[in-house]
Amino acid sequence: MKGNGLGRGERLAPREDGGRRGVTLVELIVALALLGLILGICTLAIASLRPASGSEILRALAQARAEAIRTGRMVRTVMYHSPLPAVLFLPDGSAIGPGVDPLTGAIRASR
């Protein structure tokens, strides 16, 4: 027999890794830890893009909306250093003005 160079009864030498394929538990844990770290950093980066919920503009709009609902009268907010020039809140809590959601008074994302 000339094909593989082995005579009768001879065996191939075993592979160095014992013939097993795949990943070890340590490799899996390291990969999952790195994935978790990357996802955590991405989540923090995305969360920092949103405006802070306690900003002055949002607080003023929420206060004006609450006052309109509480008093039953229209309330107009005028903010001079804001992208929203003026918003009118109606007694039912809806809003009229540029850049706000008509039903909730929440600031809409700029397009």
At 11-65, the pLDDT tens digits run 666 666 666 678 899 999 999 999 999 999 998 888 777 766 557 777 888 888 8
CA atoms within 13 A on the CB side of 33: 6
Residue with tokens 């809590």: 93
The pLDDT tens digits of the residues spanning 51-108 come to 665 577 778 888 888 999 999 999 988 877 666 678 888 898 888 888 778 777 776 7
75, 64 in Cβ contact below 8 A?
A: yes
Q: What is the pLDDT of residue 111?
A: 47
SS3 90: coil
Reported pTM: 0.46
